[in-house]
Homo-oligomer: A and B are copies of this chain.
Amino acid sequence: MFSKETYINRRNELKNKINNGIVLITGNNDAPMNYKSNTYHFRQDSTFLYFFGIDLQNLAGVIDIDNNEEILFGDDYTIDDIIWMGPQTSLKDKAAGAGIEKTRPFAELFEYIRDAAAKKRTIHFTPPYRGENIMLLADLLNIHHREVEKNASLELTKACIDLRSIKEPCEIEEMERHMSTAWEMHTTAMRMARPGISEQEITGAIEGVSMSGGGMVSFPVICSVRGETLHNHYHGNTLKEGDLLLTDAGSESPLHYATDHTRTTPVSGKFTETQRQVYQIVLDANNKAREATRPGVPYRDVHLLACKVIASGLKELGLMKGDPDEAVNAGAHALFMPHGLGHMIGLDVHDMEDYDDTLVGYDDEIKRSSQFGLAALRLGRRLQPGFTITNEPGIYFIPALIDNWKAENKFPQFLNYEKIEAFKGFGGIRLEDDILVTGDGCRILGERIPITIEEVEAIAGKGAVK
C-alpha cells in the first residue's frame, strides 16, 4: 500500500467533487474458475484499490459525503479461516492502514444502504463488471440485476476519471519500478524466439517471469506468429523460419499497476528485406508519435500523425497511393492499422475502462469518431502532465479484411490491391511503449525494451538467460 495519507487525500479530493449522497465502492471477491472455491488469482477492484488500497476480498467502502464519514465494511477472520489461510490482520488495522477509523461487519452494509435509500439519499457507484458484484448491488439496492448498470453514477464516474487520469508521483514511481519485469518478459520472449519452439512455451515462460516479478499478467498474453490477429489468444503454433513473432504482454506491479508493451521479433534471427522495410515504418511511426506527445496536444492528432507516417511508408512500398494525408483523412490506412495509437494505462491496462472508455478518452471538445479505425482509438482528448499512456502503432495484413475491402473495392484511389495481395501471409508488426506525459513533453517509462532493428537482431533467438 501507499501511505495512508495518499488514500485520505484521494478520498478528500473525491468528496470535493461529489455534491451529496453516499459513495459505495464494493471490492472484488475471488472469481470462481470451475467451482466456487477454485478461484482465479485474486484481483481487487481498481476503484477500491485507488481509494482504500486494501488488497483483500469481501470488503466494501462507504464515503458518506453529507456527514463526512467513512466506513469500511468487512469481517474479521475466524479460527477456521486462520487454519486454512494463516494469521490475518484485524479489520480495524486494515482500515487504519488506509486512514479509516470506522469499521462494521459486512452484513450491516445491507441495513446501512436500505436506511440511506429510505431517506432518498443518492447512492453513487461506478458501473460493475463482475456478475457477483452486480448481484450484490441488486441485493443492496433491492432492484433487479438488469437494473443495476443503469443506476451507476455518472457524477462519481466522472470524478474518478478526473482524479485517476493524472498519476501521482507515488504511482509513477510504482509503475516505473515494475518496468524491469516488463523488460525481462519481453527480452525473454525475444531470446526464446527460434524455429521449432511453440508459442505456448514462450507464453508460459513470460507469464512465469511476470509472476516471479511480483504479479500476474495485466491482460491475456498475445504471443503469436499470426500477429495480424489483433487479440490472438491462441498459442498453438510452432515458430518457423521466416515468421515474425508478435508479443504483446504486460505485468501487474505489486500494487497492481499495469505494464503493456509489444515487440515483434524475426524468428530466423534476422529480418528479411521486406520485413525490415515494414518494421522500420512502424518504428518511425512510434518514434514520431512520441516526439509529438506533449501536454495540450490531442492524442487524436498524435494518432493521425502516426497513421500518416504509416501511409507514407506504405506508399513508398507501393501498397498505398495518392496523398497520404488524404488517405488517412478518408480512413484508407485503417486496412493496415485498424486500431488506435494508444490508451491510458494505470491501475488497469486500459485504464478505467470499467467506467466507460469514451468518458475516459474523450470530452466535450474532442468527440469520438465513428470512422473504422479511428473509432477504435481509446484516447483522443488533449494530453495533460501526469497522463500515462501507450504508444502502439502497427501494420497488419489481415486476409479476411483485405478480401472484404477488395470485394467492395474500398478506396481504390489509395490502395493498390494487387500489391497488397502479395502480403497476405506477412502477418503483423506492432511496437508499443509506455509513456509518461511530462510538463513539457514525454518520456518512456523504464529502460526502453530493445526496439531498433539492430537491437532486436542482436538478441533474437539467443536463448533465455538463467
Which residues of A are interface residues toward B (Cβ below 8 A)? 31-43, 45-46, 79, 82-87, 129-135, 138-139, 145-146, 200-214, 219-220, 226, 229-234, 338, 347-350, 353-354, 398-401, 404, 464, 466
Q: A145-B138, A211-B207, A404-B79 are in contact. Are A353 and B129 (CB under 8 A)?
A: no
Q: A84, B229: Cβ atoms under 8 Å? A: yes
How close is A109's CB to chain B, nearest CB, in angstroms? 17
Name A38's contact: one of B134, B353, B400 (CB within 8 Å): B353
Q: B353, A37: Cβ atoms under 8 Å? A: yes
How close is A98's CB to chain B, nearest CB, in angstroms? 19
Name A200's contact: one of B132, B200, B212, B232 (CB within 8 Å): B212
Which B residues are in CB contact (< 8 Å) with A42? Answer: 233
Q: B204, A212: Cβ atoms under 8 Å? A: yes
| Copy count, this protein chain | 2
Which B residues are in CB contact (< 8 Å) with A234? Answer: 86
Q: A84-B231, A131-B135, A211-B200 are in contact. Are A34 and B45 (CB under 8 A)?
A: yes
Which B residues are in CB contact (< 8 Å) with A230? Answer: 83-84
Q: A400, B35: Cβ atoms under 8 Å? A: no
Q: A400, B79: Cβ atoms under 8 Å? A: yes
Which B residues are in CB contact (< 8 Å) with A133? Answer: 131
Q: A46, B31: Cβ atoms under 8 Å? A: no
Which B residues are in CB contact (< 8 Å) with A400? Answer: 79, 82-83, 87
Q: A231, B85: Cβ atoms under 8 Å? A: yes
Which B residues are in CB contact (< 8 Å) with A79? Answer: 400-401, 404
Kindly state the separation between the CA atoms of A207 and B210 in the bound complex, as whole angstroms.
10
CB pairs A–B below 8 angstroms (28 shown): A33-B43, A34-B43, A34-B348, A34-B354, A36-B129, A37-B350, A37-B353, A38-B219, A38-B220, A38-B348, A42-B233, A79-B400, A82-B398, A83-B398, A84-B230, A85-B233, A86-B229, A87-B400, A139-B146, A145-B145, A200-B211, A200-B214, A205-B208, A205-B212, A207-B207, A208-B208, A208-B209, A208-B211
Kindly state the separation between the CA atoms of A34 and B354 in the bound complex, as whole angstroms.
7
